Amino acid sequence: MINKILQAAKLLENVSNKTPVMTSRTLNEQTGLDVYLKCENFQRIGAFKFRGAYNAIYNLSEENKKNGIITHSSGNHAQAVALVGKLLSIDTTIVMPKNAPLVKIQATKQYGAEVVFSESTIQDREDTCNALIKKNNLTLIHPYDNDMVIAGAATASKEFTDDYRLDIMITPCGGGGLLSGTAIYCKESNAVQSVFGAEPEMANDAYLSFKNSVLHDQVTPNTIADGLRTTLSNRTFKYISKYVDDIILVSEEEIKSAMEFLWTRMKLIVEPSGAVPLAAIIKLAKNNDIIPNTKVGIILSGGNVELTNYFSSL
């Protein structure tokens, strides 16, 4: 995988944004740590997902590109695939759950993709997607169960560690693509000693899978972090089991508090899923479960937030 990650980094060098890394004196004082935030909310489409989507789609065969591509996603991967389809002139179909955030649905449509709605369960999303694949001979670009997607996601951690020496890297975990790619690169390149995942208590399948060494399905993921309501695949479970050191759970209130800090103190628009790893680090520091002055790298995975109601009320 390390070679795939390096190839992806070369491919994306002049395509994706090299996202900034931000720090906060207030955050460092409150936690007693040296915290660095990789702002993938400034990536194209507002999330790290662009990296994996571009890498996977660009490397398809010409025949597959001609036939068209499809994916299922609640939002960020949907937007990423839609944009890449537009950039590479590929017909794109996106299956989105009916309860996906409106801002993500609108952006996906604006990039030119055909949006097909499904029920909110993972099974219905997959069933709807599979029926369209069979009917129209489309190629699936899975949100995370794809090595080329994972390799593309890993380029965020390569950029990060090329410029900063870190003791710990932490990312959110939904389907596990970002966490898998990050952990593989950090460990295989010896760039970072420890890699953590962060997950909502209300969507804790990865935590249970990691702790019990048995893959658990997501049951009722009732969390504000809509991007983390998915479940691990066998592929990402394998990578996480091998390379990740721990997974930290956080409450809904801890997620909201971290998100509020990012918005009000750092002026960073970060969606709930992206705030989850910061919530985890604040929790570890508060409980004295992390060594003071540790250099911590956090990947803020995205910044697509539904603000329609806010602006309509002005």
Question: What residues are labeled active site?
Answer: 49, 74
Q: d(Cα 209, Cα 205) in Å, to the nearest integer?
A: 6
Find, among 91, 293, 276, the residue nearest to 170 by Cα.
Answer: 276
End-to-end CA gap in the chain: 49
3-class DSSP assignment, residue 119: coil
Q: Note whether 143 and 149 are within 8 A (CB).
A: yes
Sign of the alpha-carbon dihedral angle for 205, 296, 5, 239: negative
Beta-bridged to residue 70, according to DSSP, are 93, 140
What's 39's DSSP letter? E
Q: d(Cα 232, Cα 183) in Å, to the nearest integer?
A: 15
Find, among 51, 13, 15, the residue nearest to 302 by Cα.
Answer: 51
Beta-bridged to residue 246, according to DSSP, are 196
Q: What is the CA radius of gyration of the chain?
A: 18
Distance of CA 120 to the CA centre of its chain: 19
Q: Output the six-digit token pair for 293.
A: 């002055």
Between the alpha carbon of residue 236 and those of residues 7, 60, 103, 166, the distances in Å are 20, 21, 28, 23
Sign of the alpha-carbon dihedral angle for 245, 251, 252, 257: negative
Strand-strand pairing, 34-39 and 21-22 = antiparallel
Beta-bridged to residue 37, according to DSSP, are 22, 298
